[in-house]
Amino acid sequence: MGTDSSIVRFEDVSLHFGDTPALDHVSFEMGAGETRVVFGAAGSGKTMLLKVAVGLQKPDSGRVFLFGQDITHLSEERLFDLRARVGILFQEGALFDSLTIADNVAYPLENQRILQTVGAGSEQRSIEERVVETLRFVELEQTLDKFPSELSGGMRRRVGIARAVVTQPELELYDSPTAGLDPITAHTIISLILKERDTRNTATIIVTHRYQDGQLMANFRYNPNSGEIEAAPRGSEETVDTKFLIMQAGRLVFEGTEPEFLACTDEYVRKFARPGAS
Amino acid sequence: MPSAAKTRWSQLKVGILAAIALVILAFLVITMSGTNPLFRETVDAVVYFDDSFAMTVGATPVRLNGILIGKVSNVELSGSNELNRTVKVTLSLNADSLALIPVDSTAGLAQQNLLGARYINIKRGKSAQTIQPGGEIKTEATTEIQDMLDQGKTTLSALQAILTRVEKLVIEIEDGKGTIGKFLRDETLYNNLVGAADEMKKLVVNFNNPNSTIGHLINDDDLYQDVRGTMGKVDQLVDGLNAGEGTLGKLLKDDSLHEELRGTLADLHETLRLVNRGDGTIGKLMTTDTLHRRLEDTMTRLDNVLDKVNTGEGTVGQLLNNPALYESMDNTMREVQGFMKDFRANPKKFLTIQLKLF
Amino acid sequence: MLDFLKPPIQTFQDFVLVSSRALGNVFRRPHYNSDIFQQMDIIGVGSLPITSMVGWFSGIVMALQMSRALTTYGAESRVGEIVSITLVRELGPVLTALLVAGRNASGMASELGSMKVTEQIDAMRALGTDPSQKLVTPRLIASATMLPLLTIIADCIGMIGGYFVASTQLGLTSSEYWTSAWQVLEYNDLAQGLIKPFAFAIIIALVGCFYGIRTSGGTQGVGRATTNAVVWSSLWIIVINTLITQVFVNF
């Protein structure tokens, strides 16, 4: 197992709500710049995995490490510092609907300023510039003064991504970024995720139920010259170390690279290996 | 975060609201401290009552001739056994009102109106001196005691004066001075008394002696004889009465009055007999048959009439006995009833007829 | 056997935790001042119309009801005293608090509840903001400062309402009414009339935010949270009112 250079590490983590296990003896590890794709049926604990990873939920047993620090019992105030280095996209975006888009995206930056944490490059340029820049990244710079209720679901997701990446964190967590979107918008979202990952070599965990998302994450990369994603040649060094994690009823039933994933004979795992699976 | 402009507008509205409320509050506090002497300097005074009258510590007001000057600050037992000083009430008064209370002012319990709360009212006195802080204000009850004691003092001194004189008197008496003294002390009187007793004895001896007047009176026969003589005369008088002499005697003895009375009685008797026999009007009235017979006849005729009536003779008889009339009436009633029913059933029939008539 | 007691006790425990955190945060940085002012605007200025109406009608009703009783004793001139005392000591604080509870506890619960079910609270935590500091504490401070002020204004308007009845129906002069109204008030009454709203405001804010933050179960959960917030804040207002009155009466 890795040492303190890991970004996220779960050691035998369990979490129960009443009698139902949300996480059941889950252990895995992820290093810098790596990608993890998490599949699983509804209620299998995928969202819980992300929440426990940043300490939004405390496990009942086991240990969780974030950026090499044991956060299992860390207090909220101390977690804030670590969370400043993580970008999270929640399901549905979770934008603050009482704030404008600009304020939403600026929120993490304002917060860093209030908490006086030093983010990479956050003090070099004014917050407004960064907000505009980030919205341009997700191609929504014209929505600065709108409210989340005025945007479509896909646009809200994109703003969510903008908010998640505006602080240029080392770790990105995406919770079902393409759920409920049409294939074209979904493709756009994944493209943005890849763009973010490949531009700054961010560690990425993406929870999804679509095989295509995993496939793209594993095999495609962002080309800054063309502004599009394209298939990375197999076996090249530019391929990001991508592993698939399959969750079933809180247990991690499979962890492996894409070839291993496709070769798995487990019936449950194979469900996610088929395109169009949802 | 809300925009700066919105925040400023919110702040303004909030500020206005806060300002209004605080102004009202300040106004309230200021007017209250005018009437409520919370921050005025207060001094204490004491009053003694025989009862606390359930005064509320800290609340029962104290007024000077009706004007509020303070309140009761403490009520406790004074531990004194003196009359009317059982309860010690401490008053907390405005410092500047103390100079308005002369030492002869009196304090008492009063009520504002029938339902009002009780308060302690201090009636202003006339003395030039005013009470000091911590000083005592007299109550009306304590005033009376004081007077009584003062009066008692004068009485005592008077009594003392009298006693002194009585003492002097007694001394004099003991010394044999003055009438009583002599009376008590002097032997002469005693001797006199003894002398008088002797004389009395002599007098009694004289009584028994038949030669003295009283002796004569007691022993002499003549008076006795005289008295007997008088008694004899009285006897004679009574005999005369018995014999019918003199007016009274005649009255007692004469027969004629008696005879006359008898005569009158006989007459009365006669009259009554005549009456019984039927003589004279009343007699006739009482004894004749005729009237009786005439009454009888009338009764008989009445009887006949009634018989005729019963048998159906005569109009009245018919009226009472003839069933036909009754039946006729009955029929008529039935027709009327029928008519009514008819009428009720189709009033129109009858009413329209009426209309037609008109 | 005592299982049915567990949920309420658990709830109360959670409430104490949330409240102590929120109260502690009043003195901790960062202070979200613009949020505080915004809430003051919503809670204070927004509730001003209804609390004024409550005060106005309460004053009128008190004067009307009392006028009958007072007339039997020939004591109509005391109506000012009675309106003043009942408003400042009881009706003003309690009615204003109940109305503000209805209006604002429900608002807080539904707003925070909606944020909870759309994961905005989690997002806040993930982005390094203490939701208690940012959401609960401003509402707490805003309520605690605004409600006493609202109560004062409601009392004042209520006394004016009482004067309105007194002068039109009972024929009192304004000096008769107002002098007796001012004079009967003591510092004890004023203290009561200010401490009560302060305590009630704390209850309203904490209960409202508590049920909001604890919401679960989608839109239905938000509805339930709102109902609970209004019901429980109102009930606690009545209970605490009794306690405070007891303390002041024996003071």
Which domains does chain A show, CATH number per domain?
1-73+172-180+193-211+241-278 (3.40.50.300)
User: B27 with B2, same domain?
Assistant: yes
Instruction: Kindly indicate the confidence band of residue C57, based on its pLDDT and cuts at 50, 70 and 90.
Output: very high
Q: Are C119 and A91 inside 8 Å of each other by CB? A: yes
Are the beta carbons of C153 and B21 separated by less than 8 Å? yes
> Over the stretch B252-261, which tens digit does the pLDDT of each residue have?
666 776 677 7
Q: Which residues of C touch B36 (CB under 8 A)?
A: 186-187
% of chain A beyond a pLDDT of 70: 89
Whether residue C145 has pLDDT greater than 90 = yes
Counting every residue written for chain C, the total comes to 251
Q: Would you give the DSSP letter of residue C102? A: I
DSSP A239: S
- Measure the CA–CA gap between A27 and A38, rounded to whole angstroms: 13
Quick: pLDDT tens for C167-221. Answer: 888 888 777 788 888 878 888 888 888 999 999 999 999 999 999 999 988 889 9
CA gap A186, A214 in Å, rounded: 12
Portion 59-118 of C in contact with A at CB < 8 A: 115, 118
Highest mean pLDDT among A113-122, A210-219, B231-240, C195-204: C195-204
Do B29 and B49 fall within a single domain?
no
Same domain, B116 and B69: yes
Question: For residue A189, what pLDDT is reported?
Answer: 86
pLDDT (tens digit per residue) in A47-83: 888 889 888 888 888 999 888 888 888 888 788 888 8
Beta carbons of B32 and C186 less than 8 Å apart: yes
Whether B11 sits inside 8 A of C37 (CB atoms) is yes
Could you tell me which residue, C226 or A271, shows the higher pLDDT? C226
A82: nearest CA partner in chain C: C128
Chain A nearest-CA distance from C33, in A, is 12
Omega before residue C7 within 30° of 0, cis: no
Residue B276 belongs to some domain of the structure: no
B100 has a pLDDT exceeding 80: yes
Highest mean pLDDT among A91-95, A114-118, C102-106: C102-106
Do B31 and B44 belong together in one domain? no
Q: What is the mean pLDDT of residues C2-14?
A: 86
Average pLDDT value for residue range B218-245 = 74
Out of B218-227, B244-253, C145-154, which region has the weakest mean confidence (pLDDT)?
A: B244-253
Quick one: B6 and B73 in the same domain? no
Residue with tokens 């019936």: A267
Same domain, B29 and B99: no
| Domain-embedded: residue B50 | yes
Burial class (CB in 10 A: 0-12, 13-18, 19+), A74: middle
C130 contacts in A (CB within 8 Å)?
76-77, 80
Q: Does residue B295 form part of some domain?
A: yes
Interchain contact, C44 vs B14, CB within 8 Å: yes
Residues B46 and B118 in one domain: yes
| Partner A, chain C 129-158, Cβ-Cβ below 8 Å | 129-130
Q: Choose, out of B7, B14, B32, B113, the residue to mutate when testing the contact with C (most C CBs < 10 Å).
A: B14
A77, A52 Cβ separation under 8 angstroms: no
> Tens of pLDDT along B296-336?
787 888 778 777 767 766 666 676 667 776 677 778 788 87
Contacts of A110 in chain B (CB under 8 A): 1
Check if the beta carbon of residue C92 is closer than 8 Å to that of residue C221: no
Quick: pLDDT tens for B56-98. Answer: 777 778 888 888 888 888 888 888 777 777 888 888 888 888 8
The answer on pLDDT for C144 being more than 90 is yes
Nearest to A108 among C119, C127, C130 (CB): C127
Question: Are B80 and B25 contained in the same domain?
Answer: no
Domain count for chain B: 3
Mark whether B45 and B142 lie in a shared domain: yes
Closest CA in chain C for residue B26:
C152
CB nearest B28 (choices: C40, C145, C190)? C190
Q: pLDDT value at position A125?
A: 57
Higher pLDDT, A275 or C156: C156
Structure tokens at C179: 């002098």
Neighbours of C246 (CB within 10 A): 10
B10 with C149: Cβ contact below 8 A: no
Q: Angle CA(C234)–CA(C191)–CA(C205) in degrees, nearest 5?
A: 30
Find the mean pLDDT for residues A223-248.
74
Amino acid symbol at A259: P
Mean pLDDT, range B256-276, rounded to an integer: 74
- pLDDT computed for residue C157 by the predictor: 94
pLDDT attached to residue C204: 95
Q: What is the pLDDT of residue A278?
A: 44
Q: pLDDT value at position B348?
A: 66
For position B40, what pLDDT does the model report?
A: 66
Task: Mark yes or no for CB contact B24/C156 under 8 Å.
Answer: yes
pLDDT at B349: 65
In this predicted structure, what is the pLDDT of residue A2? 42
pLDDT score for B309: 67
Contacts of C10 (CB under 8 A, 6+ apart): none
The whole-model pTM stands at: 0.64
**Do B60 and B26 belong together in one domain?**
no
Q: Which chains touch C (3 or more CB pairs under 8 A)?
A: A, B
Digit-coded pLDDT (tens) for A11-38: 888 888 878 888 888 888 888 888 899 9
pLDDT score for A234: 62
Distance between CA atoms of residues B127 and B101, nearest Å: 9
Angle subtended at Cα B231 by Cα B229 and Cα B233, rounded to the nearest 5 degrees: 75
CB B247 within 8 A of CB B241: no
| Residue in chain A lying closest to B2 (CA) | A99
Domain around B313 = 289-323
The reply to whether ipTM tops 0.85 is no
Give B189 or C199, the one with higher predicted confidence: C199
Q: Which of residues 118-147 of C touch B (CB under 8 A)?
A: 145-146
Residues B17 and B53 in one domain: no
Q: At what angle do helices B256-277 and B280-287 cross, to 10 degrees?
A: 50
pLDDT of residue A143: 83
pLDDT at res. C53: 93
pLDDT digits (tens, 9 = 90+) for C71-107: 888 777 788 888 898 999 999 999 999 999 999 999 9
Cβ atoms < 10 Å from Cβ of B32: 18
> Within this chain, do residues B57 and B134 fall inside the same structural domain, yes or no?
yes
Instruction: Give yes or no for residue B12 having a pLDDT over 60.
Output: yes
Residue B58 belongs to some domain of the structure: yes
> What pLDDT does C136 receive?
93
The reported pLDDT for the residue numbered B356 is 46
Q: Pick from A215, A217, A219: which is nearest to A231 by CA?
A: A219
Query: Quick one: chain C helix, strand, coil %, rounded to 5?
Result: 90, 0, 10
Q: Which two tokens stand for residue C87?
A: 């408003």
Backbone angles phi, psi at B209, to 5 degrees: -75, 120
A137, A195 contact by CB (below 8 A): yes
Closest chain B residue by Cα to residue A96: B1
Higher-confidence residue: B354 or A143? Answer: A143
Q: For residues A267 and C44, which has the higher predicted lDDT (pLDDT)?
A: C44
Please give the Cα distance from C2 to C14 (Å, whole number): 19
Q: How far is A109 from chain C (nearest CA, A)?
A: 9
**Closest CB to A94 among C122, C128, C129:** C122
Confidence of residue A119 (pLDDT cuts 50, 70, 90): very low
Q: Using a CB-CB distance cutoff of 8 angstroms, which residues of chain C are in contact with residue B7?
A: 34, 37-38
SS3 annotation, A13-57: EEEEECCEEEEEEEEEEEECCCEEEEEECCCCCHHHHHHHHCCCC
Better-predicted residue by pLDDT, A34 or B2? A34
pLDDT value of position A118: 42
Of the given ranges (B32-41, B147-156, B252-261, C59-68), which has the lowest mean pLDDT?
Answer: B32-41
Tell me the C-alpha to C-alpha distance, in Å, between residue C97 and each of A40, C151, C232: 50, 8, 13
Question: In angstroms, rounded to a whole number, what is the distance separating the alpha carbons of residues C121 and C108?
Answer: 14
